[in-house]
Amino acid sequence: MTPETEPQSSLWPRILLSAVLLAAYAMAMAWAFHMQSMEWPHEGSMAYVVFFLLCPGIVFQSFNLAYMLRAGRRLTRRALTRLVTIPLGLVMAAFLSIWASTLAMSGFEQAYVPFVTQVGANLRDPCPAAGSYFQAPAVTAYNQQTGRHRERPARLHHDAKRFVLAFQGGSADIDGSTIYYDSGAGAWRKFHNDSSDDREAYAALTAGLAECVLKAQ
């Protein structure tokens, strides 16, 4: 044993504690990420607080564990290490938040392809057939998966050539967000309802179009 190393009997409890903490943080993070990536689309979520609380701990414990295993002694400059691992953890949390939101939006878009297709096929009079849109198997399965057993109504703006289909989305606050499909662009978009620029753009996009609310029957 060199002066730079510690007796294994005193080091292994610290290694075990670090490994247990790392595993617990990682499992909690994986669960939160999975739940958010399978959730109804949102612009921010209170669940992301979990990311920003746990990611710095994951980075720190990963470094701490690796250091003890490699150096054979405990980490001494813990405060200095945290000055580095906390910013890295916050970056990791931001990345995971964006990734989870992107996956949630992608799942929604794929599930609602039949909904959009049926609306486009009935542009002459799309509102009376609203019930059949919600009964598409992919839509029904997605709404059950996300806990939306009572389908959220949609707001449809349309004329004989194009349509804009909108749903209410989630957010980290009470204001929510708007998810909409623009048939002219052939793409889904979403924005936080606090964004005045996005609200104005949406209003301009739907100006002059007939409007109705689509509900499951």
State the DSSP string of 13-46: HHHHHHHHHHHHHHHHHHHHHHHHHTSSPEES-T
Residues 150 and 208 in one domain: yes
Is 3 inside any structural domain? no
Do 154 and 89 share a structural domain? no
pTM of the model: 0.82
Q: For the segment 84-103, what is each residue's pLDDT rounded down to a tens digit?
A: 999 999 999 999 999 999 99
Do 135 and 210 lie in one domain? The reply is: yes
Q: Quick one: 37 and 80 in the same domain?
A: yes
**Is 149's pLDDT higher than 70?**
no
- Say whether both 103 and 116 belong to one domain: no
Among 21, 3, 18, CA closest to 69: 18
Q: How many CA atoms does the CB half-sphere of 143 hold within 13 Å?
A: 18
Are 77 and 145 contained in the same domain? no
Residues 118 and 190 grouped into a single domain: yes
2 within some domain: no
pLDDT of residue 151: 62
- Tokens (6 digits) for 11: 């080091």
Could you tell me if 97 and 179 lie in one domain? Answer: no
* Structure tokens belonging to residue 35: 């739940």
Instruction: Write the single-letter amino acid at 116.
Output: V
Tell me which of 75 and 9 has the higher pLDDT: 75
Would you place residue 4 in the very low, low, confident or very high pLDDT band (cuts 50, 70, 90)?
Answer: low
Residue 1 lies in a domain: no
- What are residue 187's DSSP bridge partners? 182
With respect to residue 125, please indicate whether it lies within any of the assigned structural domains: yes
Section 116-132 average pLDDT: 90
Residues 6+ apart with CB under 8 A from 186: none
In the chain the first and final C-alpha atoms are separated, in Å, by 76
Q: How many domains does the chain have?
A: 2
- Does residue 78 share a domain with residue 119? no
Q: Is the pLDDT of residue 191 over 60?
A: yes
pLDDT surpassing 60 at residue 150: no
Task: Please tell me whether residues 139 and 191 are part of one structural domain.
Answer: yes
Q: Which of 63, 85, 108 is the last residue of a domain?
A: 108
Query: Which residue stretches of the chain are H helix?
Result: 8-37, 48-71, 78-111, 113-121, 130-134, 137-145, 196-206
Q: What was the pLDDT predicted at 3?
A: 47
Structural domain range at position 148 = 112-214
Same domain? 120 vs 203: yes
Summarize the confidence of residues 41-53 as an average pLDDT.
84
Give the pLDDT band of residue 71 (cuts 50, 70, 90). Answer: confident
The per-residue pLDDT for 21 is: 94
